[in-house]
Amino acid sequence: MSCCSNGYCQFSFPVGAPLTDHPVVTLEAKYLFLPYGTLLAQGELIRIWTESGKTKEVIIEHKIFLDYAKGKPLPVESLPENVYLPWQLIAMDSGWEQDAIMEWGRNEVANPDSPPVVLIFNQPLEPKLTWKERWYRLLYKIRTL
């Protein structure tokens, strides 16, 4: 189903790895705030998606449950070494305002039975083409015209 005229928004994704519950702003996102938690597991291969319908496979490096009992979001368990939560980046990657994430525990639609989660993704490295490879591709395209 499309939300826009002329079929601009695509909401049917091809079969593949499971999708996240909410979209990310860009496919290069490293963090995603999910206000109602998720069933996705740490170490699982998933697909992140944007509102324009593009997807990318990533691995969930860390799944951090949050607790808002003290008024601000704190991890339920201690964070692994070399892992921290940069709230500005989390808000930017998730498409939320930072204040909305910080105040989520007091929001009237927050569900205390499903704790919020921050997913940290491990983006796969994609090798960049060398000038030689680009040149060969261009020559191949010219040759096959």
Cα–Cα distance measured from residue 83 to residue 79, given in angstroms and rounded to the nearest whole number: 6
- Entry pTM: 0.78
Q: What average pLDDT does the chain have?
A: 88
**Most confident of the ranges 36-40, 90-94, 104-108:** 90-94
Report the pLDDT value the prediction gives residue 70, as an integer from 0 to 100.
86
Report the pLDDT value the prediction gives residue 10, as an integer from 0 to 100.
53
The tens digit of pLDDT for each residue in 95-122 reads 999 999 999 988 888 888 889 999 999 9
Report the pLDDT value the prediction gives residue 142, as an integer from 0 to 100.
93
Cα–Cα distance measured from residue 140 to residue 46, given in angstroms and rounded to the nearest whole number: 34
Report the pLDDT value the prediction gives residue 1, as an integer from 0 to 100.
40
The residue among 62, 63, 49 whose CA lies nearest residue 12 is 49
Can you give the residue ranges of every domain in the chain? 5-143
| pLDDT over threshold 90, residue 25 | yes
Torsion of CA 28, 74, 116, 9, to 10 degrees: -30
